[in-house]
Amino acid sequence: MLARLFARTVDVHAHCDLPCGVYDPAQARIEAESVKAIIAKVADSDDPDFRTRAVLIKEQRSELVKHHLWVLWTDYFKPPHFEKYPQLHTLFNEATKLAGASGTKGTMDADAADQLLAKIAEISEIFWETKKA
Amino acid sequence: MLARLFARTVDVHAHCDLPCGVYDPAQARIEAESVKAIIAKVADSDDPDFRTRAVLIKEQRSELVKHHLWVLWTDYFKPPHFEKYPQLHTLFNEATKLAGASGTKGTMDADAADQLLAKIAEISEIFWETKKA
Amino acid sequence: MLARLFARTVDVHAHCDLPCGVYDPAQARIEAESVKAIIAKVADSDDPDFRTRAVLIKEQRSELVKHHLWVLWTDYFKPPHFEKYPQLHTLFNEATKLAGASGTKGTMDADAADQLLAKIAEISEIFWETKKA
Amino acid sequence: MLARLFARTVDVHAHCDLPCGVYDPAQARIEAESVKAIIAKVADSDDPDFRTRAVLIKEQRSELVKHHLWVLWTDYFKPPHFEKYPQLHTLFNEATKLAGASGTKGTMDADAADQLLAKIAEISEIFWETKKA
Amino acid sequence: MLARLFARTVDVHAHCDLPCGVYDPAQARIEAESVKAIIAKVADSDDPDFRTRAVLIKEQRSELVKHHLWVLWTDYFKPPHFEKYPQLHTLFNEATKLAGASGTKGTMDADAADQLLAKIAEISEIFWETKKA
Amino acid sequence: MLARLFARTVDVHAHCDLPCGVYDPAQARIEAESVKAIIAKVADSDDPDFRTRAVLIKEQRSELVKHHLWVLWTDYFKPPHFEKYPQLHTLFNEATKLAGASGTKGTMDADAADQLLAKIAEISEIFWETKKA
């Protein structure tokens, strides 16, 4: 919790590709938190139109998770990072899969969102280490 | 600085309009920080193609600032807030104008970005007060 | 009816933010009319796939209403207008809320669309007064 | 001028493809008017960054002209219309070309915008005849 | 080199409107094949959330079919083509209608996708003739 | 039928994430070819507005290259592929970097486009091997 306190005070992601030099895994995490919130709201509702809207919006937020993660993987992380953290590619590949059809897009199961948030937390931990390095 | 430390640990904005219930002025601030970073990079470059890309990307980030602020103003803030903080409407109107053609879209002047960031900071202060209330 | 005849002959909205100088509340009204039409069509249909499509498209049109109104509020109206018409901020805030999750996005009730159209008509009336001034 | 008075009082285009049943060539015309306004503003400015923004925004508005026209051609006009007005296909093809790379996208010449507006006026005339029929 | 021959031998569509000079009806066909695949998957599923996602995605892919076809009709084909192939306008108009509300957007019937693919094949045949000419 | 064989023999990518099951690296390659074509056209032009449009459109096509590659990496390739082809992650990371600010977005140098196309060809080779397996 304390790590998060300090983590979220600094640079945040803005996907410029100018490049802007401004990145933060919080962007991906935020969208994943939205997905988690959507799933929770659906569990509490029996209105079919609300469920339709939830499916639509969950699809959009999940896609944003994928995008934010892909941008970090391509625009922020460099070859020296991938050498130092050999698990990084797999971590990103698994995380983006968890935000897709076989993950939060394709289910209303809260567990999918939790798995996705866990992966993002792993990525965030490495990200902040590289920032301090 | 300490306020920001604690401020940025909680809810973050995800523009769902489901509603998700997840908001944070940080999203607008982040985009404004990107705009500021773009302006700084342009000041250091004399490459015309780079300047073109910067104008294009600054236009996009500025539009995102406007959008994040509008969403807070419409989706997060409620009538009781506007009663308690009668300056809120004007604050949002001025901030969104500062991210438009007469503000950061229309200039490469760092001062425009600083004015925008100052307005967003004012909004953020009120936002976090309402969160604690 | 006659007022509408004369109202819709002049400037129309084009969201440039160059600025183009071309605005018209008709853009917001048009999208609200679409929302009203969608709701009416759904009332006449018992096809679940059609309803899904209607929910999706109503979400998109409602978002466009919000956007067109926000653009008028930020890009067209200036401080002298807000002084002359002190109800303007509230009018815009209520209108955009009526096109969101607590309004036309979140319901298939025709009444929500009618309330939204009524708000837009109020905005339009003020808009055309400022144009004549 | 009088034709425009009566023309713009009725149905307006909302590209639903639900279908909504709400169409109006004014949408295409409005974007073309924006393009014309952009070109005029550029003629009056010698600021290179302003010109860059104008090129960018003109590109976007021109693309919207193409889209609104394509939607009318596909979603509004039906086979009986194409039989009654055999010039309609060519009219639409020429108009959309005039809003592309060989038209308003590719030039700052006011004449291109005028040619485009003229084509849209021809389409509008036929459109309103079909509405009365 | 041989692998590429069989994989993709010629020009493909990239909607630049710079112009890039790169076009291929395969882009429209691909999206239509996706629509066909979506319809097939829905026939095999009784999960209502999956059906909602399928309706949403089919709407998006169908819109892309319309767009790719419109771009070919406006940006690639020229007046000499329309003279040589007088059926071309009608072919494009029918194809784009088949990807809309009265076609693949509005139904889960496989036959609609097949009709659309057949029209695209006709367009493709003419396209390749013009390429060889 | 034979013409289609040589024109396009196999599955192409349609980014559904339903999933549709339809993928092809040609999509990424096509956008890269567009980027290459844009760069070539700019080399032949001394019109500053044309160059601005080219920078804008090259930015958009490059972003599409990144997107198509990311989708293949996340949605098509599975863990057994990454085991069999351990160079795959690096290949995708390098390719997407080559379509970004440090690659084709940030330069008018034809060599950048050629390097990008070469990487995509390597990915394509592996892709087609996995298809045959």
Does any CB of chain A come closer than 8 Å to the CB of residue B67?
Answer: no
List CB contacts (< 8 A) between F86 and chain A.
Answer: none
The minimum CA-CA distance between F35 and chain D, rounded to whole Å, is: 17
Is B38's pLDDT higher than 70?
yes
The 8-class DSSP code of residue A87 comes to T
CATH superfamily, region B22-132:
Nickel-containing superoxide dismutase (1.20.120.400)
Query: For residue F43, what are its two tokens?
Result: 């080399």
Percent of chain D with pLDDT over 70: 89
- Give F83-99 as a DSSP string: HH-TTHHHHHHHHHHHT
Distance, in Å, from the CA atom of F28 to the CA atom of F121, rounded to the nearest integer, reads 10
Contact D34 C53 (CB under 8 A): no
The minimum CA-CA distance between C121 and chain B, rounded to whole Å, is: 19
Does any CB of chain B come closer than 8 Å to the CB of residue C82?
Answer: yes
pLDDT tens profile E63-87: 999 999 999 999 999 999 999 999 9
Structure confidence at residue C15 as a pLDDT band (50, 70, 90): low
Helices (H), B11-133: 26-43, 48-71, 79-84, 88-98, 110-132
D to B contact (≥3 Cβ pairs closer than 8 Å): yes
Residue C16's pLDDT is what?
A: 81
Structure confidence at residue B26 as a pLDDT band (50, 70, 90): confident
Percent of chain E with pLDDT over 70: 89
The 8-class DSSP code of residue C8 comes to T
Which neighbouring-strand residues pair with F8? E8
Residue A17 has its nearest CB partner, among F18, F93, F105, at F105
CB distance A43 to A108 below 8 Å = yes
Distance, in Å, from the CA atom of F30 to the CA atom of F49, rounded to the nearest integer, reads 25
Mutate to test the interface with B, among C15, C17, C98 (most CBs of B within 10 A): C17
Q: Which residues of F76-99 are buried (b: 16+ CB within 10 A; e: fewer)?
A: bbeeebbeebeebbebbbbbbbbb
Contact D17 E93 (CB under 8 A): no
pLDDT tens profile A19-36: 987 888 988 998 999 999
Mutate to test the interface with D, among C6, C13, C16, C56 (most CBs of D within 10 A): C16
Q: Could you give the C-alpha distances from B112 to A16, B103, B119, in angstroms and in order?
A: 19, 6, 11
Which neighbouring-strand residues pair with E8? F8
- Smallest CA-to-CA distance from E116 within E32, E22, E1 is with E32
Is A99's pLDDT higher than 70?
yes
- Smallest CA-to-CA distance from A119 within A83, A76, A73 is with A73
- Smallest CA-to-CA distance from D71 within E63, A72, C69 is with E63
D to E contact (≥3 Cβ pairs closer than 8 Å): yes
CB distance C28 to C83 below 8 Å = no
Query: Chains with ≥3 Cβ pairs under 8 A against F?
Result: A, B, D, E
CB distance D105 to D57 below 8 Å = no
Distance, in Å, from the CA atom of F15 to the CA atom of F21, rounded to the nearest integer, reads 9
- C31 or F83, higher pLDDT: F83
- Give E19-86 as a DSSP string: ------THHHHHHHHHHHHHHHHHHT---HHHHHHHHHHHHHHHHHHHHHHHHIIIII--HHHHHH-T
SS3 C113: helix
Cis peptide preceding A19, ω within 30 of 0: yes
Residue F101 has its nearest CB partner, among A19, A101, A105, at A19
Residue C133's pLDDT is what?
A: 86
Distance between first and last Cα of chain A:
21
Is A7's pLDDT higher than 50?
no
Q: Is the ipTM of this complex over 0.90?
A: no
φ, ψ dihedrals at E8, nearest 5°: -160, 110
- What mean pLDDT comes out for the span C73-79? 97
The minimum CA-CA distance between E7 and chain F, rounded to whole Å, is: 5
List CB contacts (< 8 A) between E73 and chain D.
Answer: 93, 96
- Smallest CA-to-CA distance from B127 within B2, B1, B13 is with B13
- What mean pLDDT comes out for the span C3-31? 63
Closest CA in chain E for residue C52 = E52
- D71 or F12, higher pLDDT: D71
Sign of CA dihedral E20, E26, E32, E36: negative
CB distance D99 to D39 below 8 Å = no
Residue E15's pLDDT is what?
A: 67
CB distance D14 to C61 below 8 Å = yes
Does any CB of chain C come closer than 8 Å to the CB of residue E51?
Answer: yes
- Give chain A as a DSSP string: -HHHHHHTTS------SS------THHHHHHHHHHHHHHHHHHT---HHHHHHHHHHHHHHHHHHHHHHHHIIIII--HHHHHH-TTHHHHHHHHHHHTSTTTTTS---HHHHHHHHHHHHHHHHHHHHHHH-
- What mean pLDDT comes out for the span C20-38? 89
Is E6's pLDDT higher than 80?
no
Residue A4's pLDDT is what?
A: 34
- What mean pLDDT comes out for the span C61-66? 95
Residue D10's pLDDT is what?
A: 28
- F84 or F8, higher pLDDT: F84
One-letter amino acid identity for F14?
A
Q: Could you give the C-alpha distances from A121 to A91, A94, A115, A124, F75, in angstroms and in order?
A: 10, 13, 10, 5, 22
Residue B60's pLDDT is what?
A: 94
- Smallest CA-to-CA distance from C126 within C95, C90, C84 is with C84
Least confident of A11-15, C66-70, E108-112: A11-15
Residue A35's pLDDT is what?
A: 96
Does any CB of chain C come closer than 8 Å to the CB of residue B89?
Answer: yes
Does any CB of chain F come closer than 8 Å to the CB of residue D51?
Answer: yes
pLDDT tens profile D19-46: 988 888 988 998 999 999 999 999 999 9
List CB contacts (< 8 A) between B49 and chain F.
Answer: 51, 55, 107-108
The 8-class DSSP code of residue D105 comes to T
Contact A34 B16 (CB under 8 A): yes
List CB contacts (< 8 A) between D44 and chain C.
Answer: none
pLDDT tens profile A33-72: 999 999 999 999 999 999 999 999 999 999 999 999 999 9
Contact B74 C90 (CB under 8 A): no
Does any CB of chain D come closer than 8 Å to the CB of residue B43?
Answer: no
Residue C3's pLDDT is what?
A: 36
Is D9's pLDDT higher than 90?
no
Closest CA in chain A for residue B4 = A9
Residue C114's pLDDT is what?
A: 98
Q: Could you give the C-alpha distances from D97 to B27, B121, D94, in angstroms and in order?
A: 40, 47, 5
- Half-sphere exposure of residue E125: CA atoms within 13 angstroms, side-chain side: 12
Distance, in Å, from the CA atom of D63 to the CA atom of D78, rounded to the nearest integer, reads 24
φ, ψ dihedrals at C41, nearest 5°: -65, -35
Distance, in Å, from the CA atom of B78 to the CA atom of B66, rounded to the nearest integer, reads 19
Does any CB of chain D come closer than 8 Å to the CB of residue C51?
Answer: no
- Which residues contact residue D45 at a Cβ distance below 8 angstroms, ignoring those fewer than 6 apart? D51, D54
Residue A22's pLDDT is what?
A: 81
Q: Could you give the C-alpha distances from F89 to A127, A128, F19, in angstroms and in order?
A: 18, 22, 22
Is F3's pLDDT higher than 60?
no
Contact D108 F49 (CB under 8 A): yes
- What pTM did the predictor assign? 0.89
Distance, in Å, from the CA atom of B100 to the CA atom of F28, rounded to the nearest integer, reads 34
Structure confidence at residue E27 as a pLDDT band (50, 70, 90): confident
Residue D12's pLDDT is what?
A: 31
Distance, in Å, from the CA atom of E41 to the CA atom of D102, rounded to the nearest integer, reads 42
pLDDT tens profile B68-126: 999 999 999 999 999 999 999 999 999 999 999 999 999 999 999 999 999 999 999 99
Q: How many CB pairs under 8 A join D and F?
A: 16
pLDDT tens profile F36-83: 999 999 999 999 999 999 999 999 999 999 999 999 999 999 999 999
- What mean pLDDT comes out for the span F123-131? 97
What is the overall mean pLDDT for chain F? 89
Give the residue carrying structure tokens 């342009």. B42
Structure confidence at residue F107 as a pLDDT band (50, 70, 90): very high
CB distance A104 to A119 below 8 Å = no
Distance, in Å, from the CA atom of F44 to the CA atom of F35, rounded to the nearest integer, reads 15
Q: Where are the domains of chain B?
A: 22-132
Distance, in Å, from the CA atom of B6 to the CA atom of A5, rounded to the nearest integer, reads 7
